[in-house]
A and B are shown apart, each in its own frame.
Chain A
Amino acid sequence: EAQVTQNPRYLITVTGKKLTVTCSQNMNHEYMSWYRQDPGLGLRQIYYSMNVEVTDKGDVPEGYKVSRKEKRNFPLILESPSPNQTSLYFCASSLVAGGLYQETQYFGPGTRLLVL
């Protein structure tokens, strides 16, 4: 089944304790992206990747890191989480990047993070 998966789905952690949220897609998509969703703010893009080893900042990259060593995986790293990073996080992927138009993005199930 074609899908985007994320792990963990729920996470409670404490300030400053490094964590990684994994994202994986089995659709051979070139493009992957991370968003955070907060009430009243919609979805805001954190980082995106056009292909292996190619990543760039979205609108809210502060406090986050990403890597794209393999086409299927795009982990989100919080080196020193803070309470303002408490949010619902979504990973998404689409077939290609670099064309004239954005391609349809397929979202993962989401990861709910609470930083105490």
Chain B
Amino acid sequence: GENVEQHPSTLSVQEGDSAVIKCTYSDSASNYFPWYKQELGKRPQLIIDIRSNVGEKKDQRIAVTLNKTAKHFSLHITETQPEDSAVYFCAASLDSYKLIFGSGTRLLVRP
């Protein structure tokens, strides 16, 4: 089955700097890669996603890149702000039923 590895497990950046979180997946048939943000005590919420027919997607300060050959995808947050502090989860899906999550990255943005 699919396996998703996420790095780093914790990331601390200065406000205004960029943050990059990386994930690798095992099944080359996976075709959908969402990123979820979970603030302390809250539910996960989708922040951006990408499908396998696209290499990059941007939404204001966040972007996701996908390298199908290497089977990895990354979340990029530019101009980080304290409210970006949260746990971020990547996930991969190879059909419309199962979603396999990474183990999460705790991002701390220092003011």
Q: Could you list which residues of chain A lie within 8 angstroms of chain B, going by C-beta atoms?
A: 31, 33, 35, 40-45, 48, 50, 56, 58-59, 90, 96-105, 107-110
- Residue in B31, B43, B96, B101 whose CB lies within 8 Å of A98: B96
Q: How far is the CB of A105 from chain B (nearest CB, A)?
A: 7
Complex CA gap A111/B72 in Å reads: 32
Contact across chains for B46 and A43 when beta carbons are under 8 A apart: no
With an 8 Å Cβ cutoff, the count of chain B residues facing the other chain is 26
Contact across chains for A102 and B103 when beta carbons are under 8 A apart: no
Contact across chains for B103 and A101 when beta carbons are under 8 A apart: no
- Residues of B38-61 at the interface with A, using a CB-CB cut-off of 8 Å, are 42-46, 49, 51
Contact across chains for A104 and B96 when beta carbons are under 8 A apart: no
Complex CA gap A104/B44 in Å reads: 12
Task: Report, nearest first, the 9 A-B pairs whose CB atoms are least far apart.
Answer: A102-B93, A42-B101, A107-B43, A43-B101, A42-B103, A102-B32, A101-B32, A99-B96, A107-B44
B111 within 8 A of A: no
Complex CA gap A97/B102 in Å reads: 22
Complex CA gap A108/B43 in Å reads: 7
Contact across chains for A109 and B43 when beta carbons are under 8 A apart: yes
Contact across chains for B31 and A105 when beta carbons are under 8 A apart: no
Chain B residues within 8 Å of A109, by CB: 42-43
- Residue in B31, B46, B100, B101 whose CB lies within 8 Å of A104: B46
Q: Give the secondary structure class of A's interface.
A: loop
Complex CA gap A98/B93 in Å reads: 13
- Residue in A43, A50, A59, A100 whose CB lies within 8 Å of B44: A43
Q: How far is the CB of A16 from chain B (nearest CB, A)?
A: 29
Q: Besides the contacts A40-B103, A56-B97, A102-B99, what 13 more A-B pairs have beta carbons closer than 8 Å?
A: A42-B102, A43-B44, A44-B101, A45-B100, A48-B98, A50-B97, A59-B1, A97-B97, A99-B96, A101-B51, A101-B96, A102-B93, A107-B44
Contact across chains for B93 and A59 when beta carbons are under 8 A apart: no
> Can you identify 28 A-B contacts, CB atoms within 8 angstroms?
A31-B96, A31-B97, A33-B99, A35-B101, A42-B6, A42-B101, A42-B103, A42-B104, A44-B101, A45-B100, A48-B97, A58-B98, A59-B100, A90-B44, A96-B96, A98-B96, A100-B31, A102-B32, A102-B34, A102-B95, A102-B97, A102-B99, A104-B49, A105-B46, A105-B99, A107-B45, A109-B42, A109-B43
